[in-house]
Structure 1
Amino acid sequence: MTQRTRFDATDIARIAVFAAIVAVLGLPGGFSVFGAVPITAQTLGVMLAGAILGPWRGAAAMLVFVALVAIGLPLLAGGHGGIGVLVGPTGGYVIGWIFGAFVIGAIVHARGRKLTWLRTIVGIAVGGILVVYAFGLPVQAFVTRLPLGETALQSLVFVPGDLIKTVIAAVITMTLVRAYPRAFRAAAATAPAAPPVAVGASTADDDSR
């Protein structure tokens, strides 16, 4: 496993925490629109996982969550779980959370650069909305046997709520990076390691650094 994807005990704990956060955000339940896909707060957890943990750890947190749902734990909004959920109308969206979190992290933490408002908002919107919809809409259309265009049109009702969650996730992320930068340990972990310093290096060498 490369340095970019090697997880230590702290990473595993943080991955578990964010998987739990997504589960907790499903406790209030959700309400369905057009009788197929419910509106829930769980996508906010997906957005935060990618933005805070970075691409690989964010995707890993969602992979853990989806795996727990697949084995039957009722972690989705409304207490749903089981492999049947993943092949139902909402299944594509849930699977899309894994890839959405990765894309969010990849954009927000692009090349390990300092987080900015613009890149954070764009990353969360692209990964948390566009990528998730790209997985969810075709599966929903297939399961409900509706044309893809009609399914996409119906799903427009979700967009305002998703945009609100995007702003909330960006505010939380940018506030946290200032108040508690250690929470973004994942971004630092992907940076190249500094070369070892030889014992007895000259003072001049030290000054040059």
Structure 2
Amino acid sequence: MSTRDLVLTALFAAIIVALGLLPPITLGFIQVPITAQSLGVMMAGVVLGARRGAIAVLIVLALVAAGQPVLSGGRGGLAIFASPSAGFLVGWIFAAFVTGYLSERLVNHQQSGLVQGVSFFLAAVIGCIAVLYAFGITYLATAGGMGFQKAFIGSMAFIPGDVIKAFVAALLGRAVMVGYPLLPARA
């Protein structure tokens, strides 16, 4: 990994942590709060690509495991990985990887700006909504003792916000591609 890669990876880990400063929104019917940190995961995948995006998330989760209060609401420590949110946290790694992988494959400089934006959006939706929810809902249903149907229905409250986050991540990906053309050579 080059120095540039290390700096960019650390930068996006810091962005994910900074988004944790925004207070979580707790819904009464599901044990997992709505946070802004999933936007950071989407942005890491879209901008950094699969490998570096996943590493940025791993850095954040290592800080969480070390007890640092870097999650939304000042949460941290190993106990988080036994909470109902754990599936979503572990899913962040795979979500960033899939988002980055799809961004690397779907987006190139020869496309129009609209096609690039739509491709980044699709990558974020597939990676950070479909993949992330697969991990989060499965863990919530089993470890949270909710049952799959209740966990699935409860998690649907996150969809509108996550679609907006995917749109923001797509705009950022497009802006970075135009403003910093060397960065999209992500692979």
Query: What TM-score do the two structures reach when normalised by structure 2?
Result: 0.92
Identity rate of aligned residues, in percent?
38
* 1:100 Cα deviation after fit: 0.4
Q: Does 1:184 align with 2:184?
A: yes
1:160 paired residue number: 160
Partner residue, 2:69 = 74
Q: Partner residue of 1:109? A: 104
Aligned mates of 2:181, 2:67 — CA distance in 1: 36
Unaligned runs of 5+ in 2: none
Aligned match of 1:148: 148
Q: How many residues align?
A: 181
CA 1:167 to 1:112, structure 2 compared with 1: closer, same or farther past 3 Å? closer
- The aligned counterpart of 2:10 is 16
Aligned to 1:4: none
Residue 23 of structure 1: CA displacement?
0.3
- RMSD value, Cα: 1.5
1:58-137 aligned within 5 A: 58-110=53-105, 113-114=108-109, 116-137=116-137
Matched, 1:28 2:2: no
Equivalent position SS for 1:75: coil
Gaps of 5+ in 1: 1-6, 191-209
Q: For residues 27-61 of structure 1, give each alpha carbon's deviation from its aligned partner in whole angstroms, at most 9, with x where no partner exists.
A: 01211112511111100100000000000000011
1:196 corresponds to: none
The separation in 1 between residues aligned to 2:33 and 2:175, in whole angstroms, is: 29
Larger Rg: 1
1:112 deviates by 7.5
Q: Measure the CA separation in 2 of the matches of 1:16 and 1:184.
A: 17
Show CA shifts across 1:145-198 (max 9, x none). Answer: 11111110011111000001011111111122112223334x2xx3xxxxxxxx
Aligned-partner SS, 1:184: coil
Segments of 4+ moved more than 4 angstroms: none
